[in-house]
Structures are given as C-alpha cells and as structure tokens.
Structure 1
C-alpha cells in the first residue's frame, strides 16, 4: 500500500484536473464547434498537443465528415520526494453531418495553435421548384 504522507498535492489534483479537462482515457470524443460562415460550413476541433501530419485523419464518407486524432503525451514531475513520469494517450473521434450536396474535393483543413479547422462550402440551394400547369388537349 502507498504511503499517503509522501504524496504531493499535484498527485491528488492531477486526476481531477484531467477529468475536468476531458483528458481521461475513457473520453473518446473531440470537442468541436461548428457554424456557418457565409456559404461555408466551418468545423473547429480542439486537438492540442498533436502532430497534424501524423496524428490526425480527416475523411468524408456518405455525407459525413470524420475527424480522428491520436495523442501521446508525456509529463515528468521531479521533486525532493521523488520522480514521476506519466503518459497520456488515446484516440479520439468525431463525425459531423455535411450539408447536402457538399463536394469532397472542395473541403479544406488547416491546423493552428491546437485547433483543426475544416471548411466545407455549402452548395447553393437548388432553385425553388415552380409549378407549371400543363394543358390537356381533347381529341
């Protein structure tokens, strides 16, 4: 059994902080915000501490945008009482419905300051259907 008297305050607070930050391994969803910017759907995903070239996959299938990220983070704590090293890792994913008619080839993604931004142009609405009366000829 561990000697509680040797625990540093950070040993107790770290799991609580991770829970509040949503960084526990059982959390498998990416936090996102989505909004319309003119004629473009914008999805911003919070994925700090990752290499977007190696750890992120953005794909489209069947009208859905899929974002998948994998994180490996290491932290080290040195003190008079000892040394502790922690790894946090896991994969996270999120799927968002795209506007009807969105074209895969028009969707772009950028990464800056821990935020992945995906932009999908929203196709112009089809013209309102007009009703035209068809004359019936009598023979």
Structure 2
C-alpha cells in the first residue's frame, strides 16, 4: 500500500494527527472527483477526455453545453451480485468545465471507446490578444490644463 506524498512540510504534530486519522479515512466521502478529466488542444479543437469505465454511453451519459460550460453527467448502475466486497463507485456523477475562449458550441463531437469518453469542440478562432492600455501621468494632465 502506498502512502500519498506531501507537498509541504507542516511539522511533526500535524503529521501525527494525520496518522491517527488514517484508519477513519475510509469512512469519509472521497475528496476526489469520481469522473477524472484530462484536456488538451489538438489542431483547431479543444479535446476533453473522461474516464468512464463500465457504462453504456447511449443510456448512461449526457453531455450538455451552455454559455461556454461543458457538462458531463454519467450514471454507473449497481449490478446486484453476491459479492463479498466492492470498491466500485456507483451512482450519478457530474462534472463541468469552462470551454476555452473562441470555442464553437455548435461544433461538438463525442466518442466513447474502451471506457474513455472523448469530447472535442472546434475553436472558432484564435484567442484575441490583449490590448495594451497606456497609462497617463497625473503631472502631464495638470500641465495640459
């Protein structure tokens, strides 16, 4: 069993409390999102990939977009079996992600293969470059008056 690494050193006392709390960690709801995302830009498309193993995408996944926000809603249904133990997560899961500027909400494609949902959105144009705003000095304005 591996132990998560810490990014910051908080001192000995808080670390001791973490060790004491460790046996009870399984009783808390998971802090991580049940749908894991990764995204990147490929050619002229924004690509979002989601891990969704063990679902039927036709029945159990809904993808919506509104006002620049892409939402993935999925449901993993519990299969009743005579099982001794299950660490699988069942139920409804929803995650939303803001689309990059310039995304075309009318050109979205989704595929599902081997437990991975892939959604791609065409980027309509390049992001506008920022405009530099000149700063006027108060002393210059007073001289003009």
TM superposition score normalised by structure 1: 0.61
Do the aligned residues in 2 keep the contact of 1:28 with 1:91 (CA within 8 Å)? no
User: Counterpart in 1 of 2:63?
Assistant: 58
Query: How far apart are the structure 1 equivalents of 2:122 and 2:105?
Result: 10
RMSD: 3.1
- Deviation of 1:39 after TM superposition, in Å, equals 1.4
- Residues 19-62 of structure 1: per-residue CA shift (max 9 Å, x gap): 7xxxx788654101001112111000000100101100000011
How many aligned positions are there? 103
Residue matched to 1:119: 120
2-structure distance, mates of 1:26, 1:111: 26
With over 3 angstroms needed to count, the CA separation of the structure-2 counterparts of 1:126 and 1:99, relative to structure 1, is closer
Residue correspondence of structure 1 range 10-89 to structure 2 within 5 A = 29-74=34-79, 76=81, 84=84, 89=90
Give the drift of 1:126. 6.2
1:66–1:96: 8 Å Cα contact kept in structure 2?
A: yes
Structure 2 match to 1:100: 101
CA deviation map 1:81-108 (0-9, x unaligned): xx64868521111111112232222011
Following superposition, the deviation at residue 64 of structure 1 comes to 0.4
Structure 1 residues without counterparts, runs of 5 or longer: 1-18, 78-82, 131-139
Greater strand share, 1 or 2?
1
